[in-house]
Chains A and B, each alone.
Chain A
Amino acid sequence: MTIASGTVREAAIAAPPPRSAAPPARPRKRRQLTRNRWGYAYVAPFFLVFAAFSLYPFMYTAWVSLHETSLSNINGGTWVGLENYRDLLQSEFFWNATRNTFTIGILATVPQLCMALGLAHLLNYKLRGRTFFRTVMLMPYATSIAAATLVFSQLFGRDYGLINTMLEAVGLQAIDWEAGTVSSQVAIAVIVTWRWTGYNALIYLAAMQSIPGELYEAAEIDGASKWKQFLHVTIPSLRPTILFTIVVSTIGAVQLFGEPLLFAGNGTTSGGSSGQYQTLGLLMYQQGWSNFHIGQAATTAWAMFMIILVIVGVNAVIGRLRARADR
């Protein structure tokens, strides 16, 4: 969330014409400031809310992460410096959660974005009842995580789940979805994919509609098939949008929490009997709100933030390199 607000802020700063470009005389600068006071007044509420609910918790989390303290004594606790970070890096629970976060992230993000792209492409054609299909696609996104996960965890139930009943009906063996590492991660990835595919498809669709029709006409004159058009006109035009959805989905994947928490079905926070689907978000919750070690939880939160920064940075670098290569 902080990242998202950060980018919004950068965009806001970048938007007005760079003042330094035309070096004004000192008094003019001052006059400009006063002339802009209404602007500052109007944006002030956002930044105050941002400071109260994003910046302050953010710094406070950093401060708490340097202490050994419990949930019922947040402001007390003893200063331990970077010890929590050292412990975290040596904790097998942390590395297990990191591994799971990445595998679930890949299992959920890759099929999700591919399917979204395909769906958007189909919806871009003139179809009867197009608005209906577009609305339906957004429905999962409007469903609460809790409701969706509760339904899915019943579908994936071992003894009485619909999926196992169907597997058995066609003569296959029932799967203990929750107990296995791969099966539980696939199940959680399905929930995430179900919920987010339509949302991403709509973003792609919006971008597709801004691709000029002449490009397709030209491609058609050159004898390109629909598939070739998709590959060589649609995809390149969507590149910035695809990069955006990858970044957003990755951030979402690193923060994955509600689905694995509720998938357990009995309120436990260990992410399965051997931690097979414990994610970083869930580990943080377990440390802070099941085990009451709020300092450790704050440390994990900061570790997650660092991981997101690195991933977003790598994405940005790749995006820039590609853009330069194209030029």
Chain B
Amino acid sequence: MFHSSKSRAAWGAALAAVLLTAGCGGSDDASADAADYDPDAPVTLTVGTFGTMDLDNAGLYDEYMELHPNVTIKQNNVAQSAAYYKSLQTRMAANSGLDDVQAMEIGFIADVVRNHADEFVDWSQEENADELEGNFYDWKWGQASTSDGATIALGTDTGPQAMCYRKDMFEQAGLPTDPAEVAALWPTWDEYLEVAEQYMASPTKPANSFFLDSPASIFSSSVYQGDLAYNDEEGNPIPAESDGVEQAWEYASQAADEGLTANLSQFGDEWVAAFPNGAFATIACPAWMLGYISSQMGEAGAGLWDIAPLPGSDESASNWGGSFLGVPADGPNVEAAKDLVEWLTAPEQQVKMFTRAAHFPSSPQAAEDPEVVGATNEYFSNAPTGEIFGESAANIQRTPIGPYDTQIQEAFTTALTDVAAGGAEIDEGWDNALKAAQQATGG
């Protein structure tokens, strides 16, 4: 076929090009059997995380590596959880390229539970499954479990909620500043909105300041106080029929419409810039929000903030956020990864996560630990955070989660922004939100 060395060279060039473009496929399928597992063999474990999960900052990896000198932990952190989830999804679709441990957020764990449960280690099949289950709030364990009882991840933190407020701004506006008195101001959301109106009407409040950062602050926290949030009991999205959504919309749209909020997009640039500028006096704060506030305001904000219970939390407290750690079942170091996850999510470590990095535990044992119960936060005027969030966590309304919670929440908070900016009337905003939610869920 080849007539001359010249033509052979030509074919060779073409072949080289084929090889170049073919890429390097092939996966190393070296999943070790449990029987072969040697806990002392040197191993490098990769942990995929997102945002500020603080497992590294709280020193947990270092501690584990000290306890197990044969283990090296490498964390692959992606700043935005949405970006993290996109790459996790494509990797799950290919069932390749996954880290030994993958973190999952409450916003998307329902999707993984539904569609990719078989790709993760099932903790309910472990020998110590009962003990593990007992380590977590039942609703936390449930969020990571399929309808037929497989549990694909163990909980790290949760987001029991409270209301953070600026003492200095309250004082200027003639409102009380003592946490107990502030708590008495707003047992319900209606009363919270009345205080907001009072604040906005005050002639002595700081100029250009608003009572709260965004309508989303009300919406995203009160929506979980209903019996249902975005889904029915089976986890199917039903935003139009949910009592939680209806209530949350009523309060949030009122605040938006009356101009009680600074109408900032939460987690956007202007929102971040607004913290040090003192643009708002209150913000709904799940436990993890404390870290946001202190890092945005720095030293200048120390002692300015205090914490009161979330309005309506006497009847039902709510949870916003929280994460999990799962172990992909086909990984090369499954057994070692399981040991690491069990250790990282154990009550003792959850206590450390709270005292060192303000992530509230998902384990009742940890939440009742004296170190947690007695914890105060110096930055927030020595507020008894352990007690406040602990009470909230114990009272949490368990709302079913679903695969599109993040998108539906965004549809509503976006529509609220539009109402607050005067782009739509309240009813119109509601219709827009439902349409956007419908588009997101795939209608």
Interface positions of A (Cβ within 8 A of B): 34, 37-38, 40-42, 44-45, 48-49, 51-52, 68, 70-75, 91-93, 153-154, 157-160, 176, 179, 264-268, 270, 273-274, 276, 289-293, 296
Which of A52, A72, A159, A296 is close to B270, meaning CB atoms less than 8 Å apart? A159
| A52 close to B21 (CB less than 8 A) | yes
| A264 close to B115 (CB less than 8 A) | no
What distance in Å separates the Cβ of B415 from its nearest Cβ neighbour in chain A? 7
**In the bound complex, CA of A293 to CA of B440 (Å):** 8
Number of A-B contacts (CB under 8 A): 115
Known interface pairs A274-B432, A291-B439; A71-B90 also in contact (CB < 8 Å): yes
Mostly, the B contact residues are helix
Which of B269, B273, B421 is close to A266, meaning CB atoms less than 8 Å apart? B269
Most chain A CB atoms below 10 A, which of B7, B115, B414, B432: B414
Is B410 an interface residue when CB atoms closer than 8 A count as contact?
Answer: yes
User: B406: nearest residue on chain A (CB-CB)?
Assistant: A290
| B418 close to A273 (CB less than 8 A) | yes
User: B17: nearest residue on chain A (CB-CB)?
Assistant: A45
| A71 close to B89 (CB less than 8 A) | yes
Interface positions of B (Cβ within 8 A of A): 6-7, 10-11, 13-14, 17-18, 20-21, 80, 82, 86, 89-90, 92-93, 111, 115-116, 262, 265-271, 273-274, 277, 279, 404, 407, 410-411, 414-415, 417-418, 421, 423-424, 432, 435-436, 439-442
| B414 close to A72 (CB less than 8 A) | no
**In the bound complex, CA of A49 to CA of B82 (Å):** 31
Cβ contacts under 8 Å, B89 to chain A = 71-72, 292
Known interface pairs A48-B21, A159-B279; A267-B80 also in contact (CB < 8 Å): yes
| A179 close to B13 (CB less than 8 A) | no
| A291 close to B440 (CB less than 8 A) | yes
Known interface pairs A48-B17, A289-B86; A72-B80 also in contact (CB < 8 Å): no
Which of B92, B414, B435 is close to A268, meaning CB atoms less than 8 Å apart? B414
| A273 close to B415 (CB less than 8 A) | yes
**In the bound complex, CA of A52 to CA of B432 (Å):** 41
| B417 close to A293 (CB less than 8 A) | no
| B273 close to A157 (CB less than 8 A) | yes
**In the bound complex, CA of A273 to CA of B420 (Å):** 10
Cβ contacts under 8 Å, A292 to chain B = 89, 111
Known interface pairs A45-B20, A73-B115, A179-B423; A37-B439 also in contact (CB < 8 Å): no
Cβ contacts A to B, 17 pairs, < 8 Å: A41-B11, A44-B17, A48-B17, A49-B17, A72-B92, A74-B90, A153-B269, A159-B273, A159-B277, A160-B270, A265-B268, A266-B265, A266-B267, A270-B411, A291-B439, A291-B442, A293-B442
What distance in Å separates the Cβ of B290 from its nearest Cβ neighbour in chain A? 20
| B14 close to A44 (CB less than 8 A) | yes
| B417 close to A273 (CB less than 8 A) | yes
| B13 close to A42 (CB less than 8 A) | yes
User: A268: nearest residue on chain B (CB-CB)?
Assistant: B410
User: A69: nearest residue on chain B (CB-CB)?
Assistant: B93
What distance in Å separates the Cβ of A104 from its nearest Cβ neighbour in chain B? 18
**In the bound complex, CA of A270 to CA of B11 (Å):** 50
Which of A48, A91, A160, A266 is close to B266, meaning CB atoms less than 8 Å apart? A266
Known interface pairs A154-B269, A291-B442, A293-B442; A270-B21 also in contact (CB < 8 Å): no
**In the bound complex, CA of A289 to CA of B80 (Å):** 13
Cβ contacts under 8 Å, A71 to chain B = 86, 89-90, 93
Most chain B CB atoms below 10 A, which of A49, A51, A71: A71
Which of A264, A290, A291 is close to B268, meaning CB atoms less than 8 Å apart? A264
Cβ contacts under 8 Å, A159 to chain B = 262, 270, 273-274, 277, 279
| A44 close to B439 (CB less than 8 A) | no
User: B273: nearest residue on chain A (CB-CB)?
Assistant: A160
Which of A160, A274, A291 is close to B407, meaning CB atoms less than 8 Å apart? A291
Which of A73, A268, A274 is close to B424, meaning CB atoms less than 8 Å apart? A274
What distance in Å separates the Cβ of B213 from its nearest Cβ neighbour in chain A? 12
User: B268: nearest residue on chain A (CB-CB)?
Assistant: A266
| A38 close to B407 (CB less than 8 A) | no
| A158 close to B439 (CB less than 8 A) | no
What distance in Å separates the Cβ of A257 from its nearest Cβ neighbour in chain B? 15
**In the bound complex, CA of A300 to CA of B410 (Å):** 22
Which of B11, B115, B267, B270 is close to A70, meaning CB atoms less than 8 Å apart? B115
Known interface pairs A157-B273, A274-B424, A291-B440; A265-B21 also in contact (CB < 8 Å): no
Which of A44, A264, A274 is close to B423, meaning CB atoms less than 8 Å apart? A274
Cβ contacts under 8 Å, B440 to chain A = 290-291
User: B415: nearest residue on chain A (CB-CB)?
Assistant: A273
What distance in Å separates the Cβ of A39 from its nearest Cβ neighbour in chain B? 10
Cβ contacts under 8 Å, B20 to chain A = 45, 48
What distance in Å separates the Cβ of B405 from its nearest Cβ neighbour in chain A? 12
**In the bound complex, CA of A150 to CA of B82 (Å):** 19
**In the bound complex, CA of A34 to CA of B414 (Å):** 64
**In the bound complex, CA of A266 to CA of B266 (Å):** 7
**In the bound complex, CA of A290 to CA of B265 (Å):** 17
| B273 close to A290 (CB less than 8 A) | no
Known: A71-B89, A270-B410; 14 extra A-B contacts, CB below 8 A, are: A44-B13, A49-B21, A71-B93, A72-B92, A158-B270, A179-B418, A179-B421, A264-B268, A265-B265, A267-B80, A270-B411, A273-B421, A274-B432, A292-B89
**In the bound complex, CA of A34 to CA of B80 (Å):** 55
**In the bound complex, CA of A19 to CA of B442 (Å):** 53
What distance in Å separates the Cβ of B218 from its nearest Cβ neighbour in chain A? 16
Known interface pairs A44-B17, A289-B86; A265-B269 also in contact (CB < 8 Å): yes
Cβ contacts under 8 Å, B18 to chain A = 48
List 5 tightest A-B contacts by C-beta distance, closest first: A266-B268, A273-B418, A45-B17, A273-B417, A72-B89
| B82 close to A267 (CB less than 8 A) | yes
**In the bound complex, CA of A157 to CA of B274 (Å):** 11
What distance in Å separates the Cβ of A101 from its nearest Cβ neighbour in chain B? 18
| B93 close to A73 (CB less than 8 A) | yes
Which of B82, B90, B423 is close to A290, meaning CB atoms less than 8 Å apart? B82
What distance in Å separates the Cβ of B207 from its nearest Cβ neighbour in chain A? 13
Cβ contacts under 8 Å, B404 to chain A = 291
What distance in Å separates the Cβ of A21 from its nearest Cβ neighbour in chain B? 27
**In the bound complex, CA of A44 to CA of B80 (Å):** 40
Which of A34, A72, A179, A291 is close to B93, meaning CB atoms less than 8 Å apart? A72
User: A266: nearest residue on chain B (CB-CB)?
Assistant: B268
